[in-house]
Each structure stands twice: as C-alpha cells, then as structure tokens.
Amino acid sequence: MAKSRAQKQLTVDTLTDDLKRMKSVVFADFQGLKAGEIEEIRTKCTKAGLRYTVAKKTLLNRAFKANGIELDTKSVAGSLTTVIGFEDEVAPAKMIADYAKIHEALKVKGGVLEAKFVDAKTVMALAKLPSKNELIAKVLGSLNAPLSGLVNVLAGNLRGLVQVLAQIEKSKA
C-alpha cells in the first residue's frame, strides 16, 4: 500500500532528526531475508541503541540533503535497510557484519562515516575494530599497569622481609 504524502514527510522528518544525531550509518541489502529474521535484527538493533529503518532511497536522499550530506543512495543497487548509530561509530557496522555472517542474504552495501559515503570494504574493516567501550577499557588498563607494577615491586620487598623474619624465627625455635 502506497504511503501518503504526510506519511512520507513524517519518515523524512524522523530520518532527518536521526541523522543529525548520528555517529555512523550502515546500508545493507535485505532482499532474501524472511520477516522473522528482519524482526530479529530490528530487535537486536533496538537493544543495542541503534535505529533500524527501511525507507525508499528518495526519502533517504531528502533526509541526507536536509543534513547537508551529499549522497546519492540511488547509485547503491538493491533494497536498502539503514542502521544508524548514535553513540558508537563502530556499533552499526559490527551489528550488520555479525548478522551477515549468520544470514548470507544480508549484504553490506556501504555507509556514512563523518558525513562521507564509505564503501562496503570500509564498513567491514570498521566492524573489525573494537567498540568504544573496549578501547576505553584498554586505555585504562594501560594507564593502570605501571601503578600495579609499582605496587607489586614495593609489596615484593615487604614479602621478602616477612619471609626472612619467618626463617629467623624458625631457626631460633
């Protein structure tokens, strides 16, 4: 059933608002997926804080143009689903890449990162990067490592002293 002009405008407005807050966008071709599989990925995206949207390419173009991003989605072949990430640049790419491993019908077509179109290879490379939280944890671990080492070195001297005193006590007893 065709959408009315008001419904299309509502879709464009929603997409425009989402694209204002986006960190990254991933496009994928969902042809060949069953309705249950599409609903499964939609649920996973919602739980991960991502927006999963299926909209016509002309409506996507209008939303991108309203945000000052020059992108022609009509050049991307197939039916597009759009996954928008708001907090982490890597999250949409990871979500789609992981799902594409399980369901071969889902094909990554490209995406938008820093207001520029990136191809499918770049999206797949982005999906291999650790998430923002993982990177923060690694940095904190790296910053904490010298302090932990210092504590262990200082504690080692005390342990050695305690062991020497224990041996002296044993030898006198």
The ranges assigned to domains in the chain are 5-129, 130-173
The share of the chain scoring above pLDDT 90, in percent, equals: 10
- CATH homologous superfamily of 5-129: Ribosomal protein L10, N-terminal RNA-binding domain (3.30.70.1730)
Of the ranges 129-133, 143-147, 164-168, the best mean pLDDT one = 164-168
Whether the per-residue pLDDT at 64 is higher than 80: the answer is yes
What pLDDT does residue 43 have?
A: 92
pLDDT tens digits, one per residue of 19-52:
888 888 999 988 888 889 889 999 999 998 999 9
Count of alpha carbons within 13 angstroms of residue 121, beta-carbon side: 0
Kindly report the average pLDDT of the chain as a whole number: 86
Task: Give the CA-trace dihedral at 58, 59, 63, 66, to 10 degrees.
Answer: 60
What pLDDT does residue 8 have?
A: 84
Residue pair 2/8 in contact by the 8 Å Cβ criterion: no
pLDDT tens digits, one per residue of 91-127:
899 999 988 888 888 888 888 888 888 888 988 988 8
Distance of CA 77 to the CA centre of its chain: 24
What pLDDT does residue 39 have?
A: 92
Whether the per-residue pLDDT at 57 is higher than 70: the answer is yes
What pLDDT does residue 136 have?
A: 87
Whether the per-residue pLDDT at 58 is higher than 80: the answer is yes
CA distance linking residue 135 with residue 124, whole number of Å: 18
CA distance linking residue 87 with residue 19, whole number of Å: 12
Per-residue b/e over 67-90, b at no fewer than 16 CB within 10 Å? bebebebeebeeebbbbbbeebbb
pLDDT band at 1 (very low <50, low <70, confident <90, very high): low
Which residues, in sequence order, are CB contacts of 38 under 8 Å at separation 6+? 30, 81
